[in-house]
Amino acid sequence: MIKCDLSPAKTQTAYGPLCALGHYLRQNRELQPLEQVHLPQKTIRHSPTEKLLDALIGILAGCSALSSTSSTSRCAPIAPCNKPSGERCADRSTVADTLNAFTEETVEELRRAVETIHRQQGQVFSHDYDRELLILEVDLTGLTASKDAEGSTKGYFPGKRNRRGRQLDWCG
């Protein structure tokens, strides 16, 4: 953690790079395509798009479950950096309700929005193939999952006996 002598210790966070990333993304409206994802939900305190961004903040902060993104846990020190006027993250139950409200059409809209962001920001689309080959690194590490998870099968995971996980299909 980088300590700043200009602010009190209570306001410091170990998530400085994530705060900087959140500020950059918000200032440059890099995640604007996510606003095109329409969810049939009313907005009381946080819009569905804000709840999606709260889930993203939790993922980037290393939260392993939505229950970890509660305003009293890991998301709390990050939220003021990534939200205007120091708002808190949405409650984990409302984020879960938002994700549960997804339909096939909504998932397709989200896929298109993420693809748009990837095309705008991804370096692979601006690579000069005439000058050099594009080298991709693929991580074949197994994805462990509970035995009740959809698509979970028993398999080999180095150093983890009797584990179950998910096999990803890498064919387009």
The pLDDT value recorded for residue 131 is: 92
Cβ–Cβ under 8 Å, residues 79 and 71: yes
Cβ–Cβ under 8 Å, residues 47 and 84: no
Residues in the chain with pLDDT values less than 70: 1-14, 64, 67-88, 167-172
**Residue spans per domain, the chain:** 9-126, 137-172
User: What is the pTM (predicted TM-score) of this model?
Assistant: 0.61
The pLDDT value recorded for residue 169 is: 60
Phi then psi for 143, rounded to 5 degrees? -100, 105
What are the CA-CA distances from residue 95 to residues 12, 68, 107, 146 (Å)? Answer: 26, 12, 15, 22
The pLDDT value recorded for residue 98 is: 85
Q: Which residues contact 127 (CB under 8 A, 6 or more apart)?
A: 134
